[in-house]
Structure 1
Amino acid sequence: MVDSLAGKECSEDIIKKHDFAIVEEKYDFNPQDIYISESTGLKIQCVDEQIKKVEFTGPTIEKLEGSQLVEKNEKAKTDLKEVYADYQAEIKEDYPDWSKENYGNSVMLEEDGIPIEKI
């Protein structure tokens, strides 16, 4: 994303799309505005209504190491195990001859539906 913004017009659409907020305005020889997006971690420098410089200011892997990014969700894990077990049981009931070992030898029957490549 960093490379895709460089050189583009510093338009209101881009500023809204990437959630940029202005942090610095300079009015010397070339008007310059600096924007930062908290959601993407990007910092852009707009000179004469064009994006001249793009930097990533978000956290690095080193900063994130050891932090709790994802909280464990034991209820979701239990629900998934139940649903998956039911799903496996239905497959065994509907297709008793199917197994992981011989799935390559399985033949699609007329009543199974239309093969994807014929759609």
Structure 2
Amino acid sequence: MIIIDFGHEREWWVQNTIYRRIVLNIPAGTEEEETVKQQLLAAFGTGGLFLDSIADTDHRRRLIMGLLRGVDVALAVIEDPASDFPPYLRELRSVAQAALDQPGQNPGRLGTPGG
């Protein structure tokens, strides 16, 4: 399990394989996007992605936006829409979007291992 800590009581637990799938789903693009992908994968080395500890707000936004892109792709290619995986990803997306749109407000629920 890996934790994504968005700060302000927004945290989400994700199985390692699901997190890896989300990050690897980030579309290839610019060098900056590849850097974001590598930084998100580096969270395995620390046991989590602790976004609130990143002082540079632009960098933190880029990481959250990368996660959002990965979740969007994962949702688009789900093989079994009747599984628990789509609602889990949609809720993760909602928490990430709230952290992006309203930092410090509307804390999200603690995620559960889905998929």
Q: Which has the higher contact order (CA 8 A, sep 6+)?
A: 2
Q: Which is richer in helix?
A: 2
User: Which protein is bigger by CA-based radius of gyration?
Assistant: 1
TM-score, normalization: structure 1? 0.24
Q: Which is richer in strand?
A: 1
